[in-house]
Structure 1
Amino acid sequence: MSLFSRHKLSEYESSDYQQQLNEFKYKITKFEDRLDKLENDWECASQGESFRPANGIDAKEAANRVEKAAQKALPNELKKAFDEINSAVKNEQKSVRLYQYECGPSINVIGKPQRKRIYHIDTLSKELKKYGYETKFDPNDSDGPYSFLEVSWEGKGTSNVSKIDSSKKYILPLEGTDREITDSVTGKTITHEVAYACPHGGKWDIVYDRKICSDAVVVSGREIINVPKWVESIEPIEAD
């Protein structure tokens, strides 16, 4: 008679035993899967074939994804940057630091502070220069948790208000914000869009519209006379 037959398992012991057995079977399955993958990789390598994990990307693709993310975020980041500049100007400052990350109090699994991106400072620097600002990167830490972009405007004339005729209408497109809209099925380009500055409910905001703009982004000249500094710096285009 076996030990098992002599000792009748209680309901609790039986459940615990079954759970342990299931966990052991799961570990065996995962191990077999890893073994199969290693054997497959070894076979490919022995035959001179290159292999890459299903989620693997090369350096060029990784760089392209980062650039696309930066361009997609640019309109909102540019507006946020102009808000910070406008606030600094009101305080009679001649420069402002735009920090790349917002560091949270929590620590991740490898012992580093959690970081939330605020700005893509490389892309933002190029864009702000188009509006006449001087930009300078943090000389000590180009991509660390406390890296920043210093933006200055001493002696820089960035306002375009003097060009405005209050009796005419204008559009205010933001440079470098062109993007293609593609069909999700065919992958073909449907239209192009551009970010425009527009007033909404007493505040200025950024909206996307067709490259050949609609009436939704046309602004009367009298609305552009007293505007935030970031709007002043946009080159106005007279609407037909």
Structure 2
Amino acid sequence: MSLFSRRKLSEYEPNDHQYQLNKLNFKVTKLEDRIDNLENDWECASQGESFQLANGIDAKEAANRVEKAAQKALPNELKKAFDEINSAVKNEQQSIRLWQYKLGIVNGEPQWVRIYHIAALSRELKKYGYETKLDSNDSDGRFSSLKVSWEGKETSDISKIDPAKKYILPLEDTECEITDSVTGKAISHEVAYACPRDDKWEIIYERKIYSDAVVVPGKNIISAPNWVKSIEPIEAD
């Protein structure tokens, strides 16, 4: 190497050394900041103060969200369960088993898909006179199931129906609060009702102070599916 080349290289050596030193100082500063944050969190914890990450939720809030999801899904899951019960009755069965999940295909990939929230469904079906038994085979619930039986049980309130009168058929424990999107305050409450629509019984949401949209003639209820007959009828005013 020529003398000229060596001199040119040496001119950059101090600058390169300073650059490496600056990088090291920056890493040390970042490490000190992390240590300070950990010390602050530890101090808060030792003094009984709570601290959370952004968007963090505690266990109680997580459980509440799961329960709300189950309650929101309950009306449709109850109707689906009554459809399965009705089909079993036609086959002269006295019990069925409802699975919490099934293996399906989502976006071309196999995936476990929830069918029922069986704990919430079990509580609800008991109100209609059914015997229920939860059978949990694993911790994550993939193979959990609910046995529903009706041997020797009266599950219909059809004897209470007068064909000449009108009724509403609200599903128990389906009331939900409607809030204003701006203020967050409750502005009304809705309830799930069973109603005939285009020769098919469906579950719809209507205000708690119901309208004629959910009023059903008694003669329609008498010929309704079993899951409809199992709902406690309330005579419309």
TM-score by length of 1: 0.78
Equivalent residue for 1:98?
98
User: Runs (4+) of structure 1 moved beyond 4 Å?
Assistant: 34-37
Given that 1:70 and 1:123 are in contact with CA atoms closer than 8 Å, whether structure 2 keeps it comes out as yes
Residue aligned with 2:195, SS: strand
Any gaps of 5 or more consecutive residues in structure 2? 6-26
Q: Tell me how far 1:40 sits from its aligned partner.
A: 5.6
RMSD (Å) for aligned C-alpha atoms: 2.4
Given that 1:103 and 1:145 are in contact with CA atoms closer than 8 Å, whether structure 2 keeps it comes out as no
Equivalent residue for 1:16?
none
Q: Tell me how far 1:163 sits from its aligned partner.
A: 1.1
Residue aligned with 1:93, SS: coil
Residue aligned with 1:48, SS: helix
1:1-240 aligned within 5 A:
38-39=34-35, 41-48=37-44, 50-104=50-104, 114-138=111-135, 140-141=137-138, 143-240=140-237
AA matched with 1:182: T
Given that 2:136 and 2:143 are in contact with CA atoms closer than 8 Å, whether structure 1 keeps it comes out as no
AA matched with 1:170: Y
Moved more, 54-63 or 142-151: 142-151
Cα pair distance change 1:83/1:52, threshold 3 Å: same
Between structure 1 and structure 2, the one with the greater Rg is 2
Any gaps of 5 or more consecutive residues in structure 1? 3-30, 107-112
Cα pair distance change 1:44/1:148, threshold 3 Å: same
Given that 1:44 and 1:51 are in contact with CA atoms closer than 8 Å, whether structure 2 keeps it comes out as no
Given that 1:94 and 1:152 are in contact with CA atoms closer than 8 Å, whether structure 2 keeps it comes out as yes
Q: Tell me how far 1:146 sits from its aligned partner.
A: 1.4
Residue aligned with 2:194, SS: strand
Residue aligned with 1:205, SS: strand
Q: Tell me how far 1:41 sits from its aligned partner.
A: 3.1
Residue aligned with 2:188, SS: strand
Q: Tell me how far 1:144 sits from its aligned partner.
A: 2.8
Rounded to whole Å, the distance in 1 between the matches of 2:231 and 2:42 is 60
Residue aligned with 1:196, SS: strand
Deviations 1:120-146 (A, max 9, x none): 111110000000000001153464311
Q: Tell me how far 1:115 sits from its aligned partner.
A: 1.6
TM-score by length of 2: 0.79
